[in-house]
A and B are shown apart, each in its own frame.
Chain A
Amino acid sequence: AQKITQTQPGMFVQEKEAVTLDCTYDTSDPSYGLFWYKQPSSGEMIFLIYQGSYDQQNATEGRYSLNFQKARKSANLVISASQLGDSAMYFCAMREGINQAGTALIFGKGTTLSVSS
Chain B
Amino acid sequence: DSGVTQTPKHLITATGQRVTLRCSPRSGDLSVYWYQQSLDQGLQFLIQYYNGEERAKGNILERFSAQQFPDLHSELNLSSLELGDSALYFCASGQGTEQYFGPGTRLTVT
Using a CB–CB cutoff of 8 Å, the interface residues on chain A facing chain B are: 33, 35, 37, 43-47, 50, 52, 91, 95, 98, 101-107, 109-110
CB of B9, distance to nearest CB on chain A (Å):
9
Residues from chain B with a CB closer than 8 A to the CB of A44 are 2, 101, 103-104
Tell me which of A46, A47, A104 contacts B56 (CB under 8 A): A104
**B11-27: which have CB < 8 Å to A?**
none
Interface bin, chain B: 20 to 34
Residues from chain A with a CB closer than 8 A to the CB of B48 are 102, 104
Closest to B44 in A: A107
A37 to B35, CA, bound (A): 14
CB of B98, distance to nearest CB on chain A (Å):
6
A104 to B106, CA, bound (A): 21
B50 A102 Cβ-Cβ under 8 A: yes
A44 to B89, CA, bound (A): 11
A43 B104 Cβ-Cβ under 8 A: yes
A98 to B97, CA, bound (A): 7
**Which secondary structure dominates where chain B touches chain A?**
strand
CB of B86, distance to nearest CB on chain A (Å):
14
Residues from chain B with a CB closer than 8 A to the CB of A33 are 97
Residues from chain B with a CB closer than 8 A to the CB of A91 are 43
* Contacts A/B (CB < 8 Å), 12 sampled: A43-B88, A45-B104, A46-B2, A46-B101, A47-B100, A50-B98, A52-B97, A102-B33, A104-B33, A105-B33, A107-B42, A110-B42
A109 B100 Cβ-Cβ under 8 A: no
Closest to A99 in B: B97
- Pick from A35, A91, A105 the residue with the most CB of B within 10 Å: A105
B43 A95 Cβ-Cβ under 8 A: no
A105 to B97, CA, bound (A): 10
Residues from chain B with a CB closer than 8 A to the CB of A110 are 42-43
A105 to B34, CA, bound (A): 10
Closest 3 CB pairs of A and B: A45-B101, A104-B45, A107-B43
CB of A96, distance to nearest CB on chain B (Å):
11
- Flag whether B99 is at the interface (Cβ < 8 A): yes
